[in-house]
């Protein structure tokens, strides 16, 4: 009698545990460009993922600048139905103060708000059949070849897990360890009004590896400063204040932000596998941002597409080879050049080179 009561209670416990655990084939943590585009591409292939993100609609500290090359790779960017800016020139100010206007040979650069862009991408995914779970993932465990994904509300049993949760990725932390402090840069800035008709402007920093920017985004403008070295952060606000008073005192500040950005300095970081038999990391969580320019949106979209392909083939691990083959050499080369390109004499020559080539540094 006693033992049957114990069995009954134990079974009930298991039953309630199971009832609280929803089963998901593919879960994507993070609905930034990487996660949403991956969800969209998977849904397009008939595999309908669940995307976990608690933050939308939200702005993200970002210039929102994408080069013409991105529009060739992702034609939906050519006809974005959200407010955005388009420019066929860019003004660069060299460390010595020389102003160089570069006209692009091919296409235009566009700038948009990440509030609008990320919402647009997420809608694309949901309209295609992906499921949005508006919950924050707070725990992760690997059990018998499955993942137990825990949010504040409940637990989920997940077959394949995609970490698209940005520079401080908790998925990455739990699987291969966080990006080191050394492999991150820092940015500070504002969203402002009153500069929407300005040219996209980049001012390189004398004596630092980084630059300041003005990027009109249609309805507002991102103005900021970024350095590859986190130790530079205390000086950034003062440097940006001087830049604003010299170049655009009319800017009307709406909000202020500070943000980290992947800035991989050691090519060994890029050699660490970022996908396994039932998991993959994409976008900022993978560290996939150009170490010289800070461009990450194009890589987030590329990662989303490639990871979706690998997962649809039931071989997430394939992503390790796919990203290296598609654009890996570009990032590896940039880790080697980043120390050189920001040396003042070279940077002066590099800006002249871009002018002669009619090319953008954000390719
Ligand atoms: C100041 C600044 C300026 C930049 N400017 C440019 C630019 O002009 N052009 C360019 O190409 N790149 C730029 N970048 C880089 C670009 O913003 C990133 O590379 C890009 O956003 C990466 O996309 P992602 O989807 O990987 O990550 P994110 O855009 O960071 O999205 C991650 C998502 O995951 C969600 N998330 C995080 N943790 C959890 C959790 N535990 N549970 C659920 N959801 C979670 C977050 O809410 C977020 O929505 C800039 C970056 C910074 C910091």
Q: How far apart are CA 250 and CA 237, in angstroms?
A: 18
Give residue limits of the domains in the chain.
22-357
Q: Are 303 and 312 in contact (CB under 8 A)?
A: no
| Closest to 152 measured CA to CA, from 164, 132, 177, 134 | 134
Give yes or no for residue 33 having a pLDDT over 60: yes
Q: Find the 166 Cα to ligand 1 centroid distance in Å.
A: 5
Give the mean pLDDT of the chain: 92
For residue 144, which phi and psi values (nearest 5 degrees)? Answer: 50, 45
pLDDT at residue 245 tops 70: yes
How remote is the CA of residue 352 from the centroid of ligand 1, in Å?
31
Q: What band does 31 get if pLDDT is binned at 50, 70 and 90?
A: very high
pLDDT of 99: 93
Tell how far the Cα of 13 is from the centroid of ligand 1, in angstroms.
40
**Is the pLDDT confidence value at 18 over 70?**
no
Tell me what pLDDT residue 175 has: 98
Distance of CA 194 to the CA centre of its chain: 27
What is the model's pLDDT at position 233?
86
In this prediction, residue 270 carries a pLDDT of 96
Q: Please state, in angstroms and rounded to a whole number, the distance separating the CA atoms of residues 330 and 332.
A: 6
What are the CB-based long-range contacts (under 8 Å, 24+) for 203-208? 203/92, 203/93, 203/243, 203/247, 204/92, 204/93, 204/94, 204/95, 204/342, 204/347, 204/351, 205/95, 205/239, 206/95, 206/96, 206/344, 207/95, 207/344, 208/232, 208/342
30/54 Cα distance (integer angstroms)? 9
**Nearest atom within ligand 1 for CA of residue 165:** 34
What is the whole-number distance in angstroms between the Cα of residue 61 and the centre of ligand 1? 8
Distance 277 CA to ligand 1 centre (A): 25
By alpha-carbon position, which residue is closest to atom 37 of ligand 1?
165
Across-strand partners of 21?
155
What is the CB < 6 Å shell around ligand 1? 29-35, 52-55, 60-66, 136-137, 164-166, 170, 187, 224, 259, 261, 283-285, 289, 294-298, 300
From 115, 297, 330, mutation site for ligand 1 pocket: most ligand atoms within 8 A of C-beta: 297
Banded model confidence at residue 7, pLDDT cuts 50, 70, 90: low
Instruction: Please give the pLDDT value at position 254.
Output: 97
Atom of ligand 1 nearest to the CA of 70: 11
Contact present, 221 and 191 (Cβ < 8 Å):
yes
Give me the count of residues in the chain: 363
Instruction: Answer yes or no: is pLDDT of 336 > 80.
Output: yes
With beta carbons less than 8 A apart as the criterion, state whether 125 and 50 touch.
no
- Of the listed ranges 77-91, 166-180, 246-260, 348-362, the least confidently predicted one is 348-362
Q: How far apart are CA 225 and CA 258, in angstroms?
A: 10
- How far away, in angstroms, is 18 Cα from ligand 1 center? 34
User: How confident is the model at residue 105, as a pLDDT?
Assistant: 81
Q: What is the mean pLDDT of residues 318-326?
A: 98
The stretch 249-273 carries a mean pLDDT of 96
Over residues 91-106, the mean pLDDT reads 89
Whether residue 15 is predicted with pLDDT greater than 50 in this model: the reply is: no
Assigned CATH for 22-357:
3.50.50.60
- Highest mean pLDDT range out of 200-209, 308-317, 348-357? 308-317
The residue whose CA has the least distance to atom 21 of ligand 1 is: 297
Ligand 1 atom at shortest distance from the alpha carbon of 288: 19
């Amino acid at each position: 009698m006693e033992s049957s009561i114990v069995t009954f209670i134990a079974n009930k416990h298991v039953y309630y545990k199971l009832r609280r655990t929803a089963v998901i084939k593919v879960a994507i943590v993070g609905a930034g460009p990487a996660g949403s585009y991956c969800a969209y591409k998977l849904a397009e292939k008939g595999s309908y993922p669940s995307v976990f993100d608690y933050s939308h609609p939200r702005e993200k500290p970002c210039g929102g600048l994408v080069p013409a090359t991105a529009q060739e790779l992702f034609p939906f960017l050519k006809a974005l139905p959200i407010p955005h800016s388009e420019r066929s020139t860019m003004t660069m100010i060299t460390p010595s103060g020389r102003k160089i206007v570069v006209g692009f040979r091919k296409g235009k650069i566009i700038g948009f708000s990440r509030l609008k862009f990320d919402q647009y991408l997420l809608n694309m995914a949901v309209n295609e059949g992906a499921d949005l779970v508006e919950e924050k993932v707070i725990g992760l465990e690997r059990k018998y070849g499955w993942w137990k994904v825990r949010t504040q509300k409940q637990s989920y049993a997940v077959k394949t897990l995609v970490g698209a949760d940005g520079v401080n990725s908790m998925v990455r932390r739990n699987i291969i360890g966080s990006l080191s402090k050394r492999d991150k840069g820092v940015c500070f800035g504002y969203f402002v009004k009153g500069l929407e008709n300005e040219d996209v402007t980049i001012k390189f920093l004398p004596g630092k590896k980084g630059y300041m920017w003005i990027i009109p985004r249609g309805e507002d403008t991102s103005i900021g400063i970024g350095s590859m070295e986190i130790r530079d952060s205390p000086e950034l606000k003062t440097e940006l204040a001087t830049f604003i008073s010299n170049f655009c005192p009319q800017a009307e500040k709406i909000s202020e932000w500070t943000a980290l950005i992947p800035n991989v300095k050691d090519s060994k970081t890029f050699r660490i596998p970022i996908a396994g038999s039932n998991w993959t990391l994409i976008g900022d969580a993978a560290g996939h941002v150009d170490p010289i320019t800070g461009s990450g949106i194009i890589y987030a979209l590329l990662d989303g597409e490639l990871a979706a392909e690998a997962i649809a083939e039931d071989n997430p691990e394939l992503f390790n080879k796919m990203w290296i083959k598609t654009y890996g050499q570009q990032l590896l080369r940039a880790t080697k050049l980043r120390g050189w390109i920001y040396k003042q004499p070279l940077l002066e020559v590099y800006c002249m080179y871009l002018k002669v080539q009619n090319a953008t540094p954000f390719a």
